[in-house]
Structure 1
Amino acid sequence: MEFIVDKVSEDSFYENLLIGLPKVLEKLPSVSDLFLERFSPVQHNVICAWEQKHGVLLPEDLRSFYASTNGLLYTYNFFYKESASEEDKVVGRIEVNSLNDLAQIYGYEIKSDPGVNMDGERYELKLGTDSKVFELVNLHDVGRVTLIYINHRYLPTIWMHNSAMKFYFLADDFTTYLRMCVHHLGIPFWQFSFSCDGIPEWSEVKSDTSDTMVFRLLAPAILPLHKRIEDIRKNNEQKFDEEFSDIPLNKIDCNIFRTTRPQQMTSVPLTEQSLSPRQAKKKHGKAKFPNKLPKKPFNPKK
């Protein structure tokens, strides 16, 4: 989704930055009090001083962001009931820390072999002594969005760090993460949908609502994407088994390694039941396989 404004101005900058989200939210009947806080740009020498202080270089997209605005804060109120009371209010929020608040954090486990590996269906992050982690967004003390440098030779990536001290991959770069914020409409704690626990229950209001309910009301098309990855894998495996249940799996015949051939050999006609998956693909058309995993983040070992 793209939103481009021809006339260059301060308003058009934020409209492009939020990809037209305010105009979409204005049309929703239960949304009100849209608020955008404007920040001054950061001077080039201030950005260079921050990089020199922390010993890292900001990626180009994040550097351009801070050169245009020192942070981002866009909020709106959503009432999920007709009675517009404070208890029934959910605050949507898209936020990025200012450069001064892009602080380095500590307290994570150090490994001797830093990098990114696959742990089942998820990415496993290992940080080393040269790794550096910065807080990009604070998620109300239940987690944080972090900018992580595994070492100084690689560009940073975006991860969520929850209260259990575990990291979950979100995006390869800042631009992608910002688009994800807009795509999820800034619904509170949407980042937790990429963790093992999923979206948490709404904790700031004493009611029967949850963030999942907010997704159903505001963005029902997004909700199917918020299944746990383990559940998606299970469904894909079940569909695969149902579609190819009548096709036998390929197995290695140990007889091909023998030096002498059997004296009596009988030819068996090639029937449809004995077709291999590749042969079945040629006869019945292209087979449908489960969706492939997303591209794996970089691994410094390679």
Structure 2
Amino acid sequence: MEDTKESLAFKGVAERLTLGITRILENMPGVGDVRFVEREPAEKRSLLSWEQKNTCILPEDLRDFYLTTDGFTLTWSVKLDNECVPLGCMVINSVTRLCPLLHPVALFSLPNAPSLADLDWEENNTESGTGHAPAAPHFDSQSRIFELDSCGGNGKVCLVYKNCTPGVVAQQSEIWFLDRSLCWHFMTATFTSYYRLMITHLGLPEWQYAFTPYGPSPQAKQWASLYQPLTFGCEHSMADPAGDSHLNKLDPTKAFRGKTKAPVPKKKQSTPCSSGSSAKSQGSTGRHVGAKR
């Protein structure tokens, strides 16, 4: 009896953690094998140890999340030809796997070997902070970057502390996406907002690229239009106010300029009077021809 109560209590916690997304996924056509990994809460001493080691203060919402569950993993598959193909994946690394993205230089590394810090040039950094877009993180000691999700090799979602000073504890953090070309894209200012985005996008492949100027791949867009049509349509309309970027905008007059035919002038239509006179002329002509015969 007690085991039943504990299982029901944990099921209630799991429903709150997943915001009820497991039931939604299970009721979708073709979706199967929805799995939510159960994890124990992280200990407070492990959180304090992480903060002391990395000289950073965890955001309050992320701290509360780790005190509820030490990480998050939810996966689901689709049925294709009677086989389950993995598709959706939602991951938040545990405290022990919340590792720095920029590791210190190894002792025996080559002295002239390039590093990520070489990608920081002044022109790029000054442009990223102009306008309404926040300034992009640095790959040097100015920023402290920690990996929240590896995104299945399609990039990295990172917890970023900017404007850091060596030896000083960093407190303000943001959530950024680092794509495969090592370009930064701002996502949210808080972990809670990012968590809701992850749940809303169902963990579909490359959903983080919706926050980039070029967007996901065509295949990822097909999956999104199939299992997430409402959100996909809203993002598509926001990216393109006209809403017709997917249409073929081919102009035949420009593409086939050398093959277009010259317009043929239309024949002048004859009036009834002229048609009658022409008929008379034809009749008289016929009579003249007959007379000659």
- The structural deviation recorded for 1:58 is 0.2
Match for 1:125 among 126, 133, 136? Answer: 136
Where do residues 240-255 of structure 1 align in structure 2 (5 Å cutoff)?
none
Q: Which residue of 2 aligns with 1:136?
A: 148
1:130 partner amino acid: Q
CA–CA separation in structure 1 for the residues paired with 2:78 and 2:220: 12
Q: Give the corresponding residue for 2:90.
A: 94
**Identity of paired residues, percent?**
25
**Displacement of 1:125:** 0.8
C-alpha separation in 1, matches of 2:158 and 2:214: 18
Distance 2:127 2:190 in 1: 15
The residue aligned with 2:197 is 180
1:118 to partner: Cα distance = 5.1
Q: Give per-residue Cα distances to partners, 1:184-230, cap 9 Å, x unaligned.
A: 111111001111221125xxxxxxxx111111111111112333866
Q: What RMSD, in angstroms, separates the aligned Cα atoms of the two structures?
A: 2.8
The aligned residue for residue 156 of structure 1 is: 173
Deviations 1:277-300 (A, max 9, x none): xxxxxxxxxxxxxxxxxxxxxxxx
Q: Distance in 2 between matches of 1:26 and 1:132?
A: 39
Q: Which has the larger radius of gyration?
A: 2
Q: How has the CA–CA distance of structure 1 residues 26 and 126 changed in structure 2, closer, same or farther, with 3 Å as cutoff? A: closer
- The answer to whether structure 1 residue 222 and structure 2 residue 231 are counterparts is yes
Distance 1:157 1:116, change over 3 A: farther
* Counterpart Cα distance in 2 of 1:228 and 1:104: 36
2:4: which partner in 1?
none
Assess, with a 3 A threshold, how the Cα gap between structure 1 residues 154 and 100 changes in structure 2: closer, same or farther.
Answer: closer
Amino acid across the alignment from 1:84: N
Give the letter aligned to residue 223 of structure 1. F
Could you list the structure 1 runs, at least 4 aligned residues long, displaced by more than 6 angstroms after superposition: 111-116
8 Å contact 1:142–1:162 — kept in the other structure?
yes
One-letter amino acid of the structure 1 residue matched with residue 150 of structure 2 = N
Task: Measure, in 1, the Cα distance between the counterparts of 2:238 and 2:28.
Answer: 31
Check whether the contact 1:123–1:168 (CA below 8 A) recurs between aligned residues: no
Hey, what does 2:158 align to over in structure 1?
A: 146
User: Greater helix share, 1 or 2?
Assistant: 2
- The residue identity in structure 2 corresponding to 1:173 is T
Alpha-carbon offset, residue 34 of structure 1: 0.9
Could you tell which deviates more after superposition, 222-231 or 95-104?
222-231
Q: Report whether the alignment pairs 1:165 with 2:182.
A: yes
Question: Partners in 2 of 1:229 and 1:220 — Cα distance?
Answer: 14
Q: How far has the Cα of 1:110 moved from its partner?
A: 4.2
Q: Structure 1 pair 111/43, CA: closer, same or farther in 2 (3 Å)?
A: farther
Residue type matched to 2:25 in 1?
A: L
For 1:46, the equivalent position in structure 2 comes to 46
Segments of 5+ residues of structure 1 without an aligned counterpart are 1-6, 202-209, 236-302
TM-score, normalising length from structure 1?
0.64
User: Structure 1 161/37 Cα, relative in aligned 2: closer, same or farther at 3 Å?
Assistant: same
- Deviation string, structure 1 residues 129-182 (Cα, Å, up to 9, x no partner): 331000000012220000000035552110100111111111111111110011
Once the two structures are superposed, residues 88-114 of structure 1 have per-residue CA deviations (whole angstroms, 9 ceiling, x without a partner) of: x34211110111111001225446797
Give the alignment's TM-score, normalised by structure 2: 0.66
